[in-house]
């Protein structure tokens, strides 16, 4: 084996030697857990469809149910175990959004129910809402510029 | 009310949903493993991507194909915001741009706030095991 010459070659050597199976395993776990959460959503949405609800309403019902379940699972410290196993599989679905609200709120519970729980709920969800809503308003403004002849204010 | 359970467990709709939803999560997992992005940033990236893809109309195809497989991931939340904004713009112009998005996502946001607070209240703070 050649002597390790510089920091960079050492880095390359370490990367070559370190096992790259975790990423495959992580991706596999993320795939099936994420897929399963979405499938649960699809089953709920199919039930709503069978009951004659429109797509938008069933989508809202799916979100509310999944958010409710994952919020309480986070409160019971169960969701964190799923998250450790599944990684992005539980983070990327809407369940991760609920988890990101409850986790910091639980952590700062000792700081009180208003500024502790109520305030820290939005440490992660706040940015998500800020960027999501701002981007959607930009999309709307661009849409109005290109798709309507005259911009109407009301 | 009678429910046709064969429609509820419609295999093709569930398998499409499973695969697309799973793949979207795999993209997130690759971002976690290969970059140094924090989960918060990844959530922001996913929602913003959903807004952009929803705005230009690409995401609609994915939703039509995969149903909840596309709407349950956070990109679907962004898609919902963008769709609401465009519908609002069609109906009531510039005011609709500001009201449409949150209106479409209101159920999810309100549920997250309400259940989130409730769950945090009933939870027992636990020391982190290192």
Any domain includes A52: yes
- The mean pLDDT of chain B is 90
Task: Please check whether residue A77 lies inside any domain of the structure.
Answer: yes
Looking at the fold, whether A46 and A83 belong to one and the same domain comes out as: yes
Q: Residue A153: its pLDDT value, please? A: 47
Helix (H, G, I), strand (E, B) or coil at B73: strand
Number of domains observed in the structure of chain B: 1
Residue numbers in B near A152 (CB within 8 A):
93-94
Residues A35, A84, single domain; the answer is: yes
For an interface test with B, the pick among A92, A117, A122 (most B C-beta atoms closer than 10 Å) comes out as: A92
For A35, how many CA atoms within 13 A lie in the half-sphere containing its CB? 17
Domain membership of residue B76 (yes or no) is: yes
Residue B127 lies in a domain: no
**A108 and A33 belong to one structural domain:** yes
**Predicted pLDDT of residue A112:** 87
Domain residues for the domain of A136 are 122-154
**End-to-end Cα separation, chain A, in angstroms:** 75
CA dist B75 and B57 (Å) reads 13
Closest CA to B81 of B62, B107, B61: B107
| Shared-domain flag, residues A116 and A126 | no
Cα distances (Å, whole numbers) of residue B102 to A4, B77, B97: 57, 10, 10
Asked whether residue B128 is domain-assigned, the answer is no
- Say if residue A83 is in the same domain as residue A111: yes
Whether A37 sits inside 8 A of B95 (CB atoms) is no
Residuewise pLDDT in 10s, chain A (154 residues)? 555 567 777 777 776 766 556 888 999 999 999 999 999 999 999 999 888 899 889 999 999 999 999 999 999 999 999 999 998 999 999 999 999 999 999 988 888 888 889 989 999 999 999 999 999 999 999 998 887 555 544 4
For residues A58 and A90, state if they share a domain.
Answer: yes
* Contact flag A117-B117 (C-beta cutoff 8 Å): yes
Give the number of domains in chain A: 2
* Contact state of B89 with A142 under an 8 Å Cβ cutoff: no
Q: Which of B97, B125, B32, B95 is nearest to A91 (CA)?
A: B32
Residue at A2 is within a domain: no
* B129 located within any domain: no
Q: Which chain A residues are within 8 Å of B99, Cβ to Cβ? A: none
Assess B65–A contact: CB distance below 8 Å, yes or no.
no
A106 inside domain: yes
Predicted confidence band at B86 (pLDDT cuts at 50, 70, 90)?
A: very high
Cβ within 8 Å, pair B97-A107 = no
Q: Decide if B78 is inside a domain.
A: yes
- Are A28 and A93 within one domain? yes
- How many other C-beta atoms are found inside a 10 Å radius of the C-beta of residue A98? 28
Helix (H) or strand (E) holding B47: helix B39-55
> Does any domain span residue A1?
no
Based on the domain organization, do A153 and A81 belong to the same domain?
Answer: no
Q: From the list A34, A43, A100, which residue is nearest B22 (CB)?
A: A34
Q: Please tell me the distance from the alpha carbon of residue A57 to that of residue B82, in angstroms, as a whole number.
A: 16
Q: Which is nearest to A71 in space by CA: A89, A92, A45, A97?
A: A97
Query: Which ipTM value was assigned to this complex?
Result: 0.90
Which one of A35, A74, A139 has the shortest CB-CB distance to B55?
A139
Q: Using a CB–CB cutoff of 8 Å, tell me whether B58 touches chain A.
A: no
Taking the Cβ of residue B14 and every Cβ of chain A, the question of whether any pair is shorter than 8 Å is answered with yes
Q: Check whether residue A97 and residue A79 sit in a common domain.
A: yes
| pTM of the entire predicted model | 0.86
Q: Which long-range contacts (CB under 8 A, 24 or more apart) does B116-119 make?
A: B116/A67, B116/A71, B116/A98, B116/A101, B116/A102, B116/A105, B116/A121, B116/A125, B117/A105, B117/A117, B117/A118, B117/A121, B118/A71, B118/A72, B119/A71, B119/A72, B119/A74, B119/A75, B119/A102
CB atoms B86 and A31 under 8 Å: no
Q: Are A151 and A100 within one domain?
A: no
Domain ranges, residue B24: 5-122
Residue A80 in domain = yes
Whether A87 is covered by a domain: the verdict is yes
pLDDT band with cut points at 50, 70 and 90 for residue B115: very high
Instruction: Give a yes or no: residue A100 inside a domain.
Output: yes
Q: Which of A11-20, A59-68, B52-61, B102-111 has the lowest mean pLDDT?
A: A11-20
């Amino acid at each position: 084996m050649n002597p390790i010459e510089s920091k960079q070659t050492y880095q390359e050597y370490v990367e070559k030697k370190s096992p790259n199976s975790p990423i495959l395993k992580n991706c596999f776990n993320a795939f099936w857990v994420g897929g399963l959460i979405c499938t649960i959503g699809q089953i709920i949405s199919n039930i709503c469809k069978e009951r004659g609800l429109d797509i938008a309403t069933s989508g809202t019902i799916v979100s509310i149910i999944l958010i409710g379940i994952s919020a309480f699972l986070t409160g019971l410290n169960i969701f964190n175990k799923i998250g450790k196993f599944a990684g992005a599989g539980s983070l990327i679905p809407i369940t991760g959004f609920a988890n990101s609200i409850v986790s910091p709120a639980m952590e700062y519970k000792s700081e009180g129910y208003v500024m502790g729980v109520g305030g820290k709920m939005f440490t992660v969800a706040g940015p998500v809402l800020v960027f999501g809503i701002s981007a959607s308003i930009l999309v709307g403004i661009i849409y109005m510029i290109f798709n309507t002849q005259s911009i109407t204010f009301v | 009310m009678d429910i046709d359970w064969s429609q509820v467990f419609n295999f093709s709709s569930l398998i499409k949903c499973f695969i697309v939803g799973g793949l979207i999560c795999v993209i997130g997992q690759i971002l976690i493993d290969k970059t140094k992005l924090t989960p918060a940033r990844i959530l922001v990236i996913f929602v913003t991507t959903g807004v952009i893809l929803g705005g230009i109309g690409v995401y609609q195809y994915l939703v039509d194909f995969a149903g909840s497989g596309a709407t349950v991931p956070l990109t679907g939340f962004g898609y919902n915001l963008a769709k609401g904004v465009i519908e609002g713009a069609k109906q009531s112009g510039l005011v609709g741009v500001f009201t449409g998005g949150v209106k479409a996502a209101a159920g999810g946001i309100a549920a997250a706030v309400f259940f989130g607070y409730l769950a945090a209240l009933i939870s027992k703070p636990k020391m982190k095991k290192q």
